[in-house]
Each structure stands twice: as C-alpha cells, then as structure tokens.
Chains A and B, each alone.
Chain A
Amino acid sequence: MTTNPMCLKIDPERVALGLQQEAMEMVKSAEGELVLDFSSVLRIDSNVAGALEQLAGLADNRSVKVVLRAVNADIYKVLKLLQLAQRFSFRS
C-alpha cells in the first residue's frame, strides 16, 4: 500500500518561517515523502538557506525524502552554490 505524499505550499511572504515551523513539523510526521511547493517563491535569503539546511538534516534523520517543487532557476543556483541542491529532490 502506498500513501499520498504530504504537500506544503510555501508562502512567499514567510518562507523561512514556513520552513522552520510547518515544514519541520510535517517532516516529523511524514512517511516517505514531503513535497514543498516553491512555485510562488521568487527569491530566497540567507535565513531561508539556513532553514533549508536544517530541514535537510532533520529529513535525513527521519528518512524522509523532501521534494522541492517548481523551484526557479535563480533559487536552484543558490542551492547549488551552497551545496544544498544535492540534499533535496526536485520536481517541476
């Protein structure tokens, strides 16, 4: 039996908070996969980068696969430069 992955649409007005609060909580209860929808996020700052790093750490510990959906090329480049891209899966 497969379960539907949990999904969270990231609010562009509070990206870091959304990751630190809702996303972290969802990782704790997720089974298998968590999809974070970045389609409304145009840019990230260093707080978001930090929150993503934390989230990746927690997901590793809990064996949860975190999928970032609809990440634009600019944000993807930031994640790549910070060696964070390899810690997530990406989906269009």
Chain B
Amino acid sequence: MTENVSSLSDERIAYLEGLVRQGKTAAAVFTQFTQHDVDRIVKAIVLAGLEQAQYLARLAIEETKLGVLEDKAIKNMVATEFVYNYVREKRTVGVIREFPERGLVEVAEPIGLIFSITPITNPTSTVLFKCIMAIKTRNAVIFGPHPKAWRCCQEAIRIMYETAVKHGAPEGVFTCLESPTIPDNAYLMRHKEVKLIDATGGPGAVKAAYSSGKPALGVGPGNTPVYLEKTAQLDMAVVDIITSKTFDNGTICASEQTVVIDDEIYDLAIKKFADLGAHICDRKETELLGRTVIDPETGFMRPMAIGQKATDIARASGLRVKPDTKLLIAPIEGVGREHPLSVEKLFPVLSVYRAKSVDEALRVCVDVNHAGGLGHTAVVFSRNDEIIRKFSEAINAGRIIANSPGSIGALGGVYNDMVPTFSFGCGTGGGNSTTDNVNLYHYLNIKRVARRTQAHMWFRVPNQIYFNMNAVENLRHFPSRSTLIVTNPLLEQMGHVDLVRRSIPAQTAIRVLSIPDAEPEVKVVMQGVEALNLHKADQIIALGGGSVIDAAKIMKLKYESPEADLEELAAPFLDIRKRVVQYPTEKINRVRLIAISTTSGTGSEVTPFAVLIDKEGGRKVTLADYSLSPDVAIVDPQFVMSMPPGLTADTGIDCLTHALEAGVSIHASPYTDSNAMQAIRLVFKYLPIAYEHPHDEEARSMMHNAACIAALAFSNASVGVNHALAHAFGARFGVAHGRANALMLPHVLAYNASVPTKFMPSPNQRGFIAHKKYATMADLLGLGGVTIAEKVKNLVAATEELLDRLKIPRSIADLGISEEQFERAMPDLAKIAFDDPSWRSNPRMPLVSELVELFWSAYRGRSPAKPGSVAEPVTAKEWSCV
C-alpha cells in the first residue's frame, strides 16, 4: 500500500487533495440541511436516474462488454425506484426514531466524506444506489469506479451530481476519480479526511479498505448453493433459477452457482431445465467447460467468461449447443479443486448435484458455501418449513433466499421484504463487518439520547396480616387437613404451642416439630421437609423468632420444589429483577405458611428473606425471593410479653436498624418511607418502656407492630451496610444479630450521612439524599437542630442514648474480644462484609477500606466520626423526595 502511494506524482496528489477538499467542504455544509431539503434532492436524483436508466445501461455494456442491456436497465431502475420506495419515508436528519416507552431517541449524524469503490459487474446501478444513499444521509462521496467501468460511472455520477446541485445540494457533494488507479485508491483510503470506505468491489479492493485502518463497508465473494428439495414447487423453482442465473448474464454475485437436487426429483428437474432452454452437459462437455471457464492454476473463474452469453461460452469451450441456449448446466459429483465448476461463476453456467438424502444435500450445500461463498447468499426451494430451518442453520449466509431467485431476491424489495441494496455485507465469513444488505443506516452515525428512566418499583407484602392481642385466634379461618407446627422446645414449654393449637380448627391433624433455637442448618431444614412429606401437610405454622420462621420458609421451598438447589439460590445478585438464578415456579406440593412471631425484631413473619447457616463456610447464607414470604402473618403481642430484657433490647434495635436502613436505601419509595418512619417513631417511643416495663401491654404491642412495620419497609427497600457488617461480625464471633447491629449502628449512621467516596448508582433517586432523610427523621422525632449536620448529629446522639438506656455494650472490645483477635479476623470480616448483598441498597457504596474503618470504629466504640454533610436547613417536606 505504501509503495503504491509513493508512486503518485505531486500533480496527482494535488488533484486528489482537491477532491478531498471539495468533498470535505460539501459534507460540512451538508450538515445544515433539513430532512425536507434532503428529501427534495433525493426525489430529483431518483427521477433523473430513472430517466437515464437505459442510457446508462447502454454505456455500461459498451464499456465493460459484460451483461445484458435490458437487465442492466432493469438494475438501474431497481437502484433508483425500488431504493427510493425504501428510503422515501425514512427519517435520516435529526431525530430519526423514538422509543418513548424506553426513553430512547435516535438522532442521525452524517458520516462526512466517503470514498466509494464501485464494481465492473454492476457499475451504474451501484453508483445510482450510492448517490441516493449519500444524499439521503447528507454525506459527500468521492467515487473510485473500477478502471474498466470508469466512463459509464462518471456519466452516472455527472447526471446525479448536476441534478442534486440544481436542487440545492452542496457543490462538490459527488466527485469521481478520473482514470482511477490502485495508488489513487490507496491514497484516499488512508486520507484523514475520508471518514468511511464503502468498497463494493473485488477481494483486493475490499481487503485494502479493511487494511486502511478506517471504518469500512465491504462485500465478500459469493458461491451461492441452492437446495432444490423434493417438496419444492418444481416449475416455479426451475423458472426462478433460470431467471436469476441468466439475469445480466449472471454478473450479480448472489446468483445461483450449484443446485443440489434431491434424487427423487432430479431427472424431472433436469428435464424441465432443458425444456426451458438450458443445455445439459454430458461428462465430457463438463470437463471441457471447466477447463475453459475456470483457471486451473488459481481455481477461480477466468475473467473472459464473466458476464458473457451462454452460447458464447459454449462456443469458446467447443460445445455444440442450440442457438437459443440461455444456460449451461454441468452435473458435478463433488465440491473442491477436482470439481472446477463447483466455484463461483459470474456467467450463465450452473453446476448441479444429485443428492441421495437430505443430509447429503445439506452437506454438499455446506461444502459449496465454504468453497468461497461464506457469508454471502444461499437459496432453498422447499415447501417443508423444517427443511428451510435446517438449511438456514447449516449455511453461513447473510441472505438465505427461500423459494425465489437468488440474485434478484438478494437485491431486496422485489421478491421479498429485505432492504434493497447493491452491496451485500457478508459478515465475518466474507471478511466484512456486517451481514446486512448495506443501506442508508450504514451511512449514518446514530446517536442515542437515553433519558433517565425510573425502574419499576413494588411494594409486596403477605396477603394477610393479623395483629393486636389474641390475633392468633384468626387461625380458625384457615382450614387444613394436616398442619405441621414448627417451633422450638422453649416455646413448647412455655405453653405457646398450646395457645396456637387451641385456635386451629378441630378436624385438623396437628404435628409439632421442635427445632433448636438457633439459625437453621440445612439438616434441620431437611428434617422439616421429611415431616411435611410424611404427613402430607397442607399447612405450616411457624411459631418462633426469626430462626424458626426462616427455617419454615426454607422447609416450604424444599417441600414444594424438592429440586431447588439452596446453594445456587443463594447466588449473589445486584438487582432482584435481573438475578441470574430464578426461584422455582413448578411445585409438586402446595402448602400454606402462617408465621407467628415470638420476638419483636426480625419481622421474618412478613419478609422474603431467610438466613441459613453454612457451617462449613462459617458464614450466613441469605436467601431472598418474594416466594419465600409467608402467606399469612400473625402479630400477636401475647407471645412476646415474657421476652427477657436483653432479648427485648437486641431485637428492638434490630427492628430500628431495619427501619433506619430502609429509610435511606436507594430502593426506598414513598410506600416504604411511610412504614420506615412509623417504625422509627414507635421504637424510640416504646422500646425503652418495653425494656424497663416488660409487662406494659401497650409498649409490647407497639414494639411488636413496629418490628412488623419495619419489616414491611425493608422487605421492599432492603437494608444496608449495617447489616453487611453485622452479618460478617455476628457469624465470626457468635454474637446475636440484633446486638451485632447495635454495635455498628451509630457508626453507620455517621458514615451514611457523610459525602460518599463512591456514590451508589440509583436511578430512582435525584441526588444524594441520605443525610437529608436522617435529618427529617430527627425532625419527626423532635430532636431539634437547624442544619442538616446538626439534625444528623442529634439522631446519632439519640440512637446512642437509646443504646445506653438499653444497656447494650457500646464497643466490640466490651464483648471481651481482644484487639489481636479482631485484627486477625479483619481480612475475613472485610471480605465477607463486602460479599454480603445487604449493602447493595446502601446510599454509599462502601470501599473495602471503609468497611475496615467501620469495623474498627465499632471495635473502639463511642464517638462515631462526625458526619460531613452540608449545613443547609431541611424540612420534613424533603422526606418524600425520592
């Protein structure tokens, strides 16, 4: 390429630079044109092209000596009228497509200056086609026609250019190389002002285009296989193949090359070809023909045969044929160098192959496809859709033409609804960047305006929630044949199970499964599944704290869908709607799950989460899916009246953490905000009373409600980094979940209220608002303060005060964990906390180093870092700013 360019004289370079300058200016000026301007010019040049179709065809025939005058005229008309029919309504200026439901708008940007190579086989039609595309898309073109078709192309370009300029197109919009040479092409292909190369030409030109380092459109060589299957409409197929293969003497590279015919119809098909003017070669004639039209050295067709008449080719080959012979048909017995006629033949010579089976036919078609025609075109004639499907899967071709002529079919718009073109993209098989019929969209840069969309949100909760004292009596509304009560030994001892039994309808067979009062292990879950199967249960009543209810959720999952793989279902995800692993929807059993909570913290009776202990990994595995949510929740305070103070404090702070984290979650919504806020208010008011006066029925009742209400919030808004830290720390050091949360809470509040090192992507929120929401919480709790920073500080202080009042240890060190011990654990703690899905909805994206800092703050306790928020006043109105 470099050598080629260096052979150019200074004079020639100046000439080429002049073309580039004109084209560049025209392209720049063209950017100002409107759709109306463009459409007016397009219509004018189309009419000019149509008017001169026959004239240009005659010029092409005279200059190239290829093809058929009438067919070239038809091609010129297709290149204008049919292409116009396709482009006339298309928008190519400004906004060209809108997808309001997706918030997307596509805006056209012209490419600029295009260098376009045109072929010898379809010279003027390709020029007309490209001129229309260029004007429609506001681009300028320098044409580099095939040297042996230069004059006819130059005339076509002149006609289009003069008409375009007359109708307002920029001067210099089309230019044509005079006496084009390969060095000219090389120079222009590498020119920095040429923005795209559109190479409709031979393999050399296409390769040069792709090697230039420029964006390029290219075409590939063809070798179109045709499968003539036994169910085909034979009369139609034979006429179509003859029409196509003889069209312009076979110069269209999509034309048929080898027809593979099913044995059952082979003889009849051959007879029909012969009846309609084809000469069927015998073995000797086939050999003679092959030697004449195919170069044995290269294995490719000889240029002298391209676009010539069948009779002329027969004469040159020494064949005696009737004077009206339109097609030479040569039977072949295989594909490859030993069967010379199995390659591309851009003249009216067609090879045929007799196939004994569908498999053999497909194999031969694949062989033909791979013998120089990858990515181009293939044809199938069949009335069997399954055969067409198999063919389309087996053959690598950008155009698979079914039951119509290959060449005219591939052009598009005549026999089918494909985009009309004179440039066939052949994909990677043909060394091209596209398999499309090259069209106006390839002449555009398409810009996409993507408007911010709000992700669909939800608020999903159990169907029924019964609350207040004696709510358990509502069990009588749920008929069951066989019920399994899942609980723990202590609750059985306390008589809670009997309370439940009394409310279950009399005819129900009731079994009780008592499981350890600890986060469930897989083996415990499987015991439950065994019991459910044994008793063919149709109802589970989970009576207990979070551990029991979580166990029951997983029992239900495994009972209904035994194939559910818990390990797989625990796979991490970022967005529950887009998760990779889906929960099973096919169920072999159906069971109702009623959850009765005996603590006021986890809210497990309404959540879609379940925690399982992975003993081997030393971690908690969180399952999350709305299918895990209990069907019915009973929030009856009589089951929590005897909770010991420590448990009351820990579970109460767990509840508060749920509400605070849901409140600032990036998935928070007005629906979850209302629940989160109410829960926060109830906890601050009633938790100290429930802790200090355990028999206060109102306080117990309100705290029980608060736990459930906070859970409604975080079931839909999720939690945050506090939970990620607490999960890792609690599992490692055997600290109860609520207490682990409490140790982290003041530090996380301060952290979340500060300007993030990294913001969380949150399409549903308008800016960073966590600090403002904390301030609003402080307002609603009546904590005072004027600026956001003051209010956040007051919220942190109130939380610390509450923790003190509940006598909760205020540092990890207070638990007796040594600094060395904690330091040793830190790498694992940080890793596990970072892997925990809980923080994915946190308003700040935590860096691992920040998780480490938070752990150390919690270790040292007290004096959380001061939130570094802005100090503007904030009002309660901002609460609903999500």
Mask: chain A, 81-92; 1 = CB below 8 Å from B; 0 = not: 110000000000
A91 to B676, CA, bound (A): 54
Contact A82 B25 (CB under 8 A): yes
Q: Please name all residues of chain B whose beta carbon is closer than 8 Å to the beta carbon of A64 when the two chains form the complex.
A: none
B170 touches A81 (CB 8 A): no
Min C-beta distance of A25 to chain B, whole Å: 25
With contact pairs A46-B171, A46-B172 given, residues A81 and B32 touching in the complex (Cβ less than 8 Å) = no
Instruction: Say whether A74 contacts B29, CB under 8 Å.
Output: no
Q: Mark out the residues of chain A between 30 and 64 whose CB falls within 8 Å of any chain B CB in the assembled complex.
A: 43-46, 49-50
The A-contacting residues of B in range 5-61, CB under 8 angstroms, are 22, 24-29, 31-32
Residues of B contacting A77 in the complex (Cβ-Cβ under 8 angstroms): 28, 31-32
B31 touches A44 (CB 8 A): no
Interface residues on A, range: 10 to 19
B720 within 8 A of A: no
B32 & A49 in contact (Cβ 8 Å cutoff): no
**Interface assignment of A75: CB less than 8 Å from any CB of chain B:** yes
Given A81-B112, A82-B24, A45 and B31 touching (CB < 8 A)? no
Residues of B within 8 A of A46 (CB): 22, 25-26, 29, 170-172
A78 touching B171 in the complex, CB below 8 Å, given contacts A46-B25, A46-B26 = no
Q: Least Cβ distance of B82 to chain A in Å?
A: 32
Residue pair B170, A45 in contact (C-beta under 8 Å): yes
- Chain B contributes a number of interface residues (CB within 8 A of A) equal to 13
Quote the shortest CB–CB distance from B208 to chain A (angstroms).
Answer: 26
The residues in B between 133 and 155 inclusive whose CB is less than 8 angstroms from any CB of A are none
Nearest A-chain residue to B168, judged by Cβ? A45
Task: Check if A74 sits within 8 Å of B32, measured CB to CB.
Answer: yes
B-chain residues with CB within 8 Å of residue A78 when the two chains form the complex: 28-29, 31-32
| A46→B809 CA distance, assembly (Å) | 80
Q: B28 and A49: CB pair below 8 A?
A: yes
In the complex, what distance in Å separates the CA atom of A27 from the CA atom of B24? 27
Q: How far is the CA of A66 from the CA of B849 in the complex (A)?
A: 55
Minimal beta-carbon separation of B18 from chain A (angstroms): 13
Interface residues of B in 560-585 (CB under 8 A from A): none
A78 to chain B, nearest CB (A): 5
Which A residues lie within 8 Å of B25 (CB)? 46, 49-50, 82
A82 to B112, CA, bound (A): 11
- Determine the distance from Cα of A87 to Cα of B24 in the docked complex, in whole angstroms: 18
Nearest CB in chain A: distance from B112 CB, A = 7
Main SS of chain A's interface residues? helix
CA separation between A77 and B815, bound complex, in Å?
68
* Contact bitstring A63-79, B, C-beta under 8 A = 1, else 0: 00000000000110110
User: What's the minimum C-beta distance from A42 to chain B, rounded to whole angstroms?
Assistant: 8
Assess the B32–A43 pair: CB atoms within 8 A: yes
Enumerate chain A residues within 8 angstroms of B172, measured Cβ to Cβ.
46
**B170 to chain A: which residues have CB within 8 Å?**
45-46
Choose from A44, A50, A82 the contact partner of B32 (Cβ within 8 Å): A44
Report B446-458 CB contacts with A as 1/0, cut-off 8 Å: 0000000000000
Complex: A78 Cα to B27 Cα, angstroms: 9
Q: Which residues of the other chain, A, contact B31 by a CB distance below 8 angstroms?
A: 74, 77-78, 81
A75 to B27, CA, bound (A): 13
- Return B321 CB to nearest CB of chain A, in Å: 57
Task: Kindly provide the distance from the CB of B240 to the nearest chain A CB, expressed in whole angstroms.
Answer: 48
How far apart are A87's CB and chain B's nearest CB, in angstroms?
A: 14
A78 to B112, CA, bound (A): 11
**A81–B26 contact, CB under 8 A?**
no
Q: Is there an interface contact between A75 and B32, defined as CB atoms closer than 8 Å? A: yes
Distance in angstroms from A16 CB to nearest chain B CB is 12
Chain A contacts for B27, CB-based, 8 A: 81
Contact with A along B91-117 (1 / 0, CB 8 A): 000000000000000000000100000
**Docked complex Cα distance between A50 and B171 (Å):** 12
**Contacting residues, chain B, for A75 (C-beta < 8 A):** 32
Q: Give Cα distance in the complex from A46 to B26, angstroms.
A: 7
Residues of B within 8 A of A81 (CB): 24, 27-28, 31, 112
Please give, as numbers and ranges, the residues of chain A lying within 8 Å of B32 by CB-CB distance: 43-44, 74-75, 77-78
Q: Which of B448-491 contact A (CB under 8 A)?
A: none
Closest Cβ–Cβ distance, residue A30 to chain B (whole Å): 27
- Complex Cα distance A78/B32, Å? 8
Measured between beta carbons, the chain B residues less than 8 angstroms from A50 are 25
CA distance A56 to B172 in the complex (A): 22
User: Could you say which residues of chain B place their CB within 8 Å of the CB of A45?
Assistant: 29, 170-171
Closest chain-A Cβ to B16's Cβ sits at a distance in Å of 18
**A82 surroundings in chain B (CB, below 8 A):** 24-25, 28
Residue of A nearest to B27 (CB): A81
Provide the bound-state CA to CA distance between A46 and B170, in Å. Answer: 7
Q: Which residues of B contact A74 (CB under 8 A)?
A: 31-32
Q: Which residues of A contact B29 (CB under 8 A)?
A: 44-46, 49, 78
- Give min CB distance, B113 to chain A, whole Å: 10
Instruction: Give the docked Cα–Cα distance between A51 and B31 (Å).
Output: 19
CB neighbours (8 Å) of B171 from chain A are: 45-46
Q: CA separation between A70 and B378, bound complex, in Å?
A: 57
A45 to B25, CA, bound (A): 9
Q: Nearest-CB distance from A37 to chain B (Å)?
A: 19
CB nearest to B22 among chain A residues: A46
CA distance A10 to B24 in the complex (A): 25
State A43–B32 Cα separation when bound (angstroms).
7
Q: How far is the CB of B295 from chain A (nearest CB, A)?
A: 47
Measured CB to CB, the nearest residue on chain B to A50 is B25
Q: Kindly list chain A residues whose C-beta atoms are within 8 Å of the C-beta of B22.
A: 46
Of the candidates B22, B24, B29, B170, the one having the most CB atoms from chain A within 10 angstroms of its own CB is: B29
Bound Cα distance from A82 to B21, whole angstroms: 9
Q: Determine the residue in chain A with the shortest Cβ distance to B112.
A: A81
Using an 8 Å CB-CB cutoff, how does the interface string of B827-846 with A read, 1 for contact, 0 for none?
Answer: 00000000000000000000
What separation, in Å, do the CA atoms of A43 and B168 have in the docked complex?
Answer: 13
In angstroms, how far is the closest chain A Cβ from the Cβ of B457?
Answer: 38
Q: How far is the CA of A78 from the CA of B140 in the complex (A)?
A: 14
For A82, the closest partner residue in chain B by CB is B28
Nearest A residue to B30 via CB reads: A78
Q: How far does the Cβ of B837 sit from chain A's closest Cβ, in whole Å?
A: 47
Which of the listed residues A46, A49, A77 has the most CB atoms from chain B within 10 Å of its own CB?
Answer: A46
Closest CB of chain B to A34's CB: distance in Å?
23
Nearest CB of A to B193, in Å: 10
In the complex, per-residue mask of A8-23: 1 if CB is within 8 Å of any chain B CB, else 0: 0000000000000000
CA distance A81 to B28 in the complex (A): 6
Residues of B within 8 Å of A44, CB to CB, are 29, 32
- A44, A49, A81 pick with most chain B CB within 10 angstroms: A81
Bound CA–CA A45/B30 (angstroms): 8
Residue of A nearest to B25 (CB): A46
Nearest CB on A from B27, distance (A): 7
B139 to chain A, nearest CB (A): 12
Give the residue name and chain of the B residue nearest to A44 (CB): B29
A53 to chain B, nearest CB (A): 9
In whole angstroms, what is the CA distance A49 to B32 when docked?
13
Residues of B within 8 A of A49 (CB): 25, 28-29
Q: Which residues of A lie under 8 Å from residue B24 when comparing CB positions?
A: 81-82
What residues of A have a CB within 8 angstroms of the CB of B26 in the complex? 46
The docked-state distance in angstroms from the alpha carbon of A16 to that of B832 is 71
Q: How far is the CA of A81 from the CA of B112 in the complex (A)?
A: 9
- Name A79's closest neighbour in chain B (CB-CB): B28
* Bound-state Cα–Cα, A43 to B30, Å: 10
Q: How many Å from the CB of B361 to the closest CB on chain A?
A: 55
Output the least CB separation between B26 and chain A (Å).
6
19 A-B contact pairs sorted by A residue (CB < 8 Å):
A44-B29, A44-B32, A45-B29, A45-B171, A46-B22, A46-B29, A46-B170, A46-B171, A49-B25, A49-B29, A50-B25, A74-B32, A77-B28, A77-B31, A77-B32, A78-B28, A78-B32, A81-B28, A81-B31
Residue numbers of A with Cβ under 8 A of B are 43-46, 49-50, 74-75, 77-78, 81-82
The 3 closest A-B pairs by CB, nearest first: A81-B28, A46-B25, A78-B28
Extra contacts, 7 of them, besides A45-B29, A81-B27 (Cβ < 8 A), are: A44-B29, A49-B25, A74-B31, A81-B28, A81-B31, A81-B112, A82-B24
